[in-house]
Amino acid sequence: MLTKTNILNIIAIILIIFISSCSSNPEEIDPVEEISEDFEEIEITINEAKFEKMEGTMEGLMHDDSSSTFTITHEYKTIKLNNAVSVDVLILVAHNNLNINSGTEDLMDASFVYQKAGFKPEVEYKIENQVGYLTIKQKKKCNKKISIDTEKNNNWDIVLNKKIPLDLKIKCISGFCDLKLGNLNLKSLKMKMSTGENIIDFRGDIKSNSKVYLSGEIEISKLYLPNNIGVKVIFKKDNIVIKNTGLIKKTPNLYVNKLYKSSTTKLEIEIYSDIGLIELISDNN
């Protein structure tokens, strides 16, 4: 028979278990998941087994091939900044080479090489309360399967204004990304990747704090990190393979450079991927 003392002891144990469960760390929420999910992967057939990085010049892509069953189009697009004081950029792309750099006085200068059947980019720009919203995306889906010769890859070269503050969101599926972001005025980057190779270069003239969130099924990603500001990289999951060159390993999931504590300007990177290889490359620690 339970006594009053036993009942009180049971209640106390239940309360301890409840409080302990409430105070435990919640599961990490991937901030990249907010990137638009209405982007449907393009149905595609690759002529060869693997999707290779484009080599050669842009002119090489434009050579005439009368035996080809599809058409390659080369298109240029310029977007004026107008009166925006900051800009949100959203890029949704699949089975493509995506190259981003800085240097234009406008908001964007871009060169697109694509197959007409389904890879034509849709570019939209609007301004609300002096904030610009730039969206660059492929069509959501195609009416028929697309056949791509690996010698004629789709290629987007996007040059962005380096002075305007930018919040950049990218979703890249099965492609090659070469992003040179160090000379942009980058406030934040949220990027979701899937089964592709990625090079993200943050080296340059960084003058403001930047927050970076990376997620997805990464095959190989190389992060080139600056040595003139503070850098911190946190891995939120345990299974990803890490190759570190030049950073200080504080814990199995935390890496910093020597300037991280003293520098007033910081680059902070959070990685939520648990598949693939991440290579951290810094000139010195």
- The pLDDT value recorded for residue 114 is 83
Q: Is residue 164 part of a domain?
A: yes
- The pLDDT value recorded for residue 1 is 59
Q: 246 forms bridges with which residues in the sheet?
A: none
State the SS3 of the chain: CCCHHHHHHHHHHHHHHHHHHHHCCCCCCCHHHHCCCCCCCCCEEECCCCCCCCCCCHHHHCCCCCCCCCCEEEEEEEECCCCCCEEEEEEEEECCEEEEEEEECCCEEEEEEEECCCCCEEEEEEEECCEEEEEEEECCCCCCCEEECHHHCCEEEEEEECCCCEEEEEEEECCEEEEECCCCCEEEEEEEEECCEEEEECCCCCCCCEEEEEEEECCEEEEEECCCCEEEEEECCCCCEEEEECCEEEECCEEECCCCCCCCCEEEEEECCCCCEEEEEECCC
Q: Is residue 48 part of a domain?
A: no
Q: Is residue 89 part of a domain?
A: yes
pTM of the predicted protein model? 0.77
- The pLDDT value recorded for residue 67 is 39
Asked if residues 177 and 199 have their Cβ atoms less than 8 Å apart, the reply is yes
Tokens 């290579």 found at? 279
Q: Is residue 60 part of a domain?
A: no
Domain count, the chain: 1
Q: Closest by alpha carbon to 196, among 33, 47, 50? A: 50
- The pLDDT value recorded for residue 239 is 78
Q: For 152, phi and psi rounded to 5 degrees?
A: -125, 60
Q: Is residue 30 part of a domain?
A: no
- The pLDDT value recorded for residue 13 is 58
Q: Is residue 8 part of a domain?
A: no
Q: Is residue 12 part of a domain?
A: no
Give the side-chain half-sphere CA count within 13 A for 37. 3
Q: Is residue 247 part of a domain?
A: yes
- The pLDDT value recorded for residue 284 is 61
Distance CA 203, CA 182 (A): 5
260-275 per-position pLDDT tens digit: 999 999 999 999 987 7
Tell me the average confidence (pLDDT) per consecutive run of 10 residues in the chain, 285 residues long. 62 56 51 54 37 34 41 91 96 91 96 79 95 89 47 81 96 90 97 86 93 86 95 90 93 95 96 88 74
Domain limits at 227? 72-282
- The pLDDT value recorded for residue 45 is 37
